[in-house]
Amino acid sequence: MELTSHVSPLQYGRPSTNGAGPLVAARDLTRQWGKGSSAQLGVDRVDLTIGPGEFTSIVGPSGSGKSTLGALIAGIDRPSSGSLVVGDTRIDNLSDDQLTRWRGDSVGIVFQNFHLLPTLTAVENVELALEMSSQRVGRRDRRERSRRALASVGLVDKAKRLPGQLSGGEQQRVAIARAVVTEPRIVVADEPTGSLDQASGHVVFDLLRGLTSLGTAVVFITHDLHLAGQSDRLVEMLDARIVGHRALSASAPLPAPELIGAQ
């Protein structure tokens, strides 16, 4: 087992929740590639709202559209039609440059593959997020904030190590620190535990879950039914549509695998 100690929840960010209405509001959201009989739908007329500080899991079989929906919410991809409001910004109307700036300031993204630059240390990888944002942060403050982010995921003692000197679970924790160092209002995590062993996956999940205590909304895309069952809400996708949407409590039983197309 590569992780032997409990990592405390993140405690340094203070995202604004403003408390008025949903943080994410998707209406009739569609992502389509091609036209006519050859058209492929990634997301088909989806309506979804997510509140500040809410932990929402999106589940479904491969090809169901869950990753496409996550990419739209994160501003990585653009919808073909419909509207998508995140915070106070209708992001489907932004220009490419505006969307890039918005993404750097407003959303944290965690992937299954860690996407750390191999020639940069852990703390330098985290600093990149601040450098790419529009936040005006001096070099000294960037380093301090990045070290605090690493401390929050239990890795400040490995700040100077290269990714190749870290385990898979540790690399994913660096990726989480990078995602949250700008103090975004929403984090989108696409299969962040998919390439990790069970113990490391649980640590990563707990770190993401802890973000909600700060008012950060988390969109957690996963095949893992056990982890999904610990969410605030479960969104089930199949064939590019939302086919189920339910609130969960901490004591709620796990959904039946056949209902969400588990593989």
Q: What is the pLDDT of residues 63-89, one digit of tens each?
A: 999 999 999 999 999 999 999 999 989
Per-residue confidence band for 6, with pLDDT thresholds at 50, 70 and 90: very low
DSSP 8-class letter at 236: E
CA distance 176 to 2: 17
CA distance 18 to 41: 34
pLDDT of amino acid 20: 58
Helix axes 122-132, 139-152, angle to 10 degrees: 120
pLDDT of amino acid 215: 87
Is a pLDDT exceeding 70 seen at residue 61?
A: yes
**Which class for 78: exposed (0-12), middle (13-18), buried (19 or more C-beta within 10 A)?**
middle
Residues in Cβ contact with 184 at an 8 Å cutoff, skipping those fewer than 6 apart:
15, 105, 106, 107, 108, 216
208 within 8 A of 219, measured Cβ to Cβ: no
Is a pLDDT exceeding 80 seen at residue 256?
A: no
pLDDT of amino acid 221: 96
Which helix or strand (DSSP H or E) is residue 204 part of? helix 198-210
DSSP 87-110: TTEEGGG--HHHHHHHHHHHEEEE
pLDDT of amino acid 95: 94
DSSP 146-186: HHHHHHHTT-GGGTT--GGGS-HHHHHHHHHHHHHTT--SE
Task: Kindly list the structural domains of the chain, giving each domain's residue range(s) and its CATH number in brackets, ordered by start.
Answer: 24-251 (3.40.50.300)
29 within 8 A of 170, measured Cβ to Cβ: no
Kindly state the tokens that stand for 60.
């479904």
pLDDT of amino acid 133: 82
Is a pLDDT exceeding 70 seen at residue 4?
A: no
Residues in Cβ contact with 203 at an 8 Å cutoff, skipping those fewer than 6 apart:
3, 7, 169, 173
